[in-house]
Amino acid sequence: MRVIVVGAGVLGTMHAWQAVERGHEVVHIEREAEARGASVRNFGLVWVGGRAGGEELATALRARELWERIGERVPALGFRPSGSLTVVRTEAELAVAEQALTLPDAEQRGYRMLDAAEVRALNPALRGKLLGALHCERDGAVEPRTAQPALREALLASGRYTFLPGREVREVIGENAVRDDHGQVHTGDVVVLCTGAWLGGLVRELAPELPVRRVRLQMMQTDPLGEELTTAVADADSFRYYPAYAGSALSGLQDAQPQPPVAAEHKMQLLVVQRKDGGLTIGDTHEYEHPFNFDVVEEPYEHLAGVAEELLGRPLPRIRRRWAGVYAQCVDTTRVVHRQQVRDGVWLVTGPGGRGMTCSPAIAETTADQINL
């Protein structure tokens, strides 16, 4: 078959990967010279631990398996099975972590509770005051700024993959073709639209009642830390954000320990991932109300830096990058992704929310199965 994939973010690239792996020819169209959206403006986390039980967790676990398998073939992805530590510093936070250990799928998630000494043995860079941490050994990481180019290089080696950057698809023609803004028509057997947070224009015409919203975030990156951060690190505000931790202990945390005003206002959690060059990617915030601000604001960065320094027990290196990003999220946040046949032979796949980097390999695999690639 000849498959037309529109959008070269991680979701589109993984759909191209699935098609080529199954023996098909792919024409991959991207409106930018390179992906510029949420696929490169993220932590690179393969984040299993906090996912909702059921379909979402199953998708994340399958994706984690696929990331590792693909990473063995494409070392430039920078995949590493580093796991994560969600650090707890109060008894109320500890109660949430301990309740998570009672989940029926806790073993699948790779949960275990570590005391302070065990945390520092696993991740010596965490020298701040803490009670312990919830360890999720199933979590991993990749390099978001280089993942898509690395995957494309491997796809090009197949001889069945064509990448067409700098072309915006303007029209879907019939059941098996698209027209780009160069006037060129690309015909295939199936069209897969992975347009990310671009929900207007052609997407609105094809799916005017799309149940997907846009979410904005702020993040930053430091100079090299000068030592290894062996795991991803989260603070206990992550318990408030990820669905796996819902329960009576979380309700107790929210009553006994409200978030600081700036964290509550910006719907914040701390996540820290070390890049291959030693720098730290730190975030993040969540903004849901439109229109989004056009600028980044400093108070969230100050809060995140302060929490990170408390956990590390040392000042952060110089902040060398700050950015905002926007991703698409299903309005029904219990759904992993919105997958819709908008015409015969034309599929729209969007809205994984903050799970795109984690779940994209498995989302693409499911799409390929459903459309009989």
> Residue ranges per domain, the chain?
1-81+141-208+336-373, 84-137+212-330
Percent of the chain with pLDDT over 70: 100
Q: Give the separation between CA 333 and CA 342, rounded to whole angstroms.
A: 21
Task: Quickly name the fold that domain 84-137+212-330 has.
Answer: D-Amino Acid Oxidase; Chain A, domain 2 (3.30.9)
Q: Are strands 319-330 and 177-180 parallel, antiparallel or unpaired?
A: unpaired
Q: What per-residue string of b and e applies to 284-323 under the rule 16 or more CB within 10 Å gives b?
A: bbbbeeeeeeeeeeeebbebbbebbebbbeeebeeeeeee
| H-run or E-run covering 161 | strand 161-164
163-169 average pLDDT score: 97
- Residue range 109-152, pLDDT digits in tens: 999 999 999 999 999 999 999 999 999 999 999 999 999 999 99
**Among candidates 192, 272, 264, which has minimal Cα distance to 15?**
192
| H-run or E-run covering 306 | helix 298-312
Residue type, 288: Y
- Residue 334 pLDDT > 90: no
| H-run or E-run covering 273 | strand 271-274
Mean residue pLDDT across the chain: 96
Tell me whether the CATH fold assigned to 1-81+141-208+336-373 matches the one assigned to 84-137+212-330: no
Q: Give the separation between CA 360 and CA 111, rounded to whole angstroms.
A: 23
Contact 235, 88 (CB under 8 A): no
Q: Please report how the helices 10-21 and 144-156 are oriented relative to each other, as an axis angle in degrees rounded to 10.
A: 30
Q: Give the separation between CA 258 and CA 303, rounded to whole angstroms.
A: 15
Residue position matching structure tokens 């309700």: 251
> What superfamily would CATH give domain 1-81+141-208+336-373?
FAD/NAD(P)-binding domain (3.50.50.60)
The residue length of the chain stands at 373
Two tokens, residue 269: 């959690």
Residue position matching structure tokens 């060129």: 184
- Residue range 271-311, pLDDT digits in tens: 999 999 999 999 999 999 989 999 999 999 999 999 999 99
pLDDT value for 187:
97
pLDDT value for 158:
97
Residue position matching structure tokens 């312990």: 132
Residue position matching structure tokens 């020819």: 25
pLDDT value for 308:
98
Contact 118, 60 (CB under 8 A): no
pLDDT value for 175:
87
Q: Is 315 helix (H, G, I), strand (E, B) or coil?
A: coil
Exposed, middle or buried: residue 90 (CB in 10 Å: 0-12, 13-18, 19+)? middle
pLDDT grade for 6, boundaries at 50, 70 and 90: very high
Residue type, 326: V
- Residue 184 pLDDT > 90: yes
What is this structure's pTM?
A: 0.97
237 preceded by a cis bond (ω within 30 of 0): no
Q: Give the separation between CA 107 and CA 102, rounded to whole angstroms.
A: 9
Helix, strand, coil fractions of the chain, as percent rounded to 5: 35, 25, 40
Residue position matching structure tokens 């347009």: 195
CB atoms within 10 A of CB 142: 26
Q: Give the separation between CA 239 and CA 216, rounded to whole angstroms.
A: 20
Q: Give the separation between CA 88 and CA 310, rounded to whole angstroms.
A: 12
- Residue range 236-275, pLDDT digits in tens: 999 999 999 999 999 999 999 999 999 999 999 999 999 9
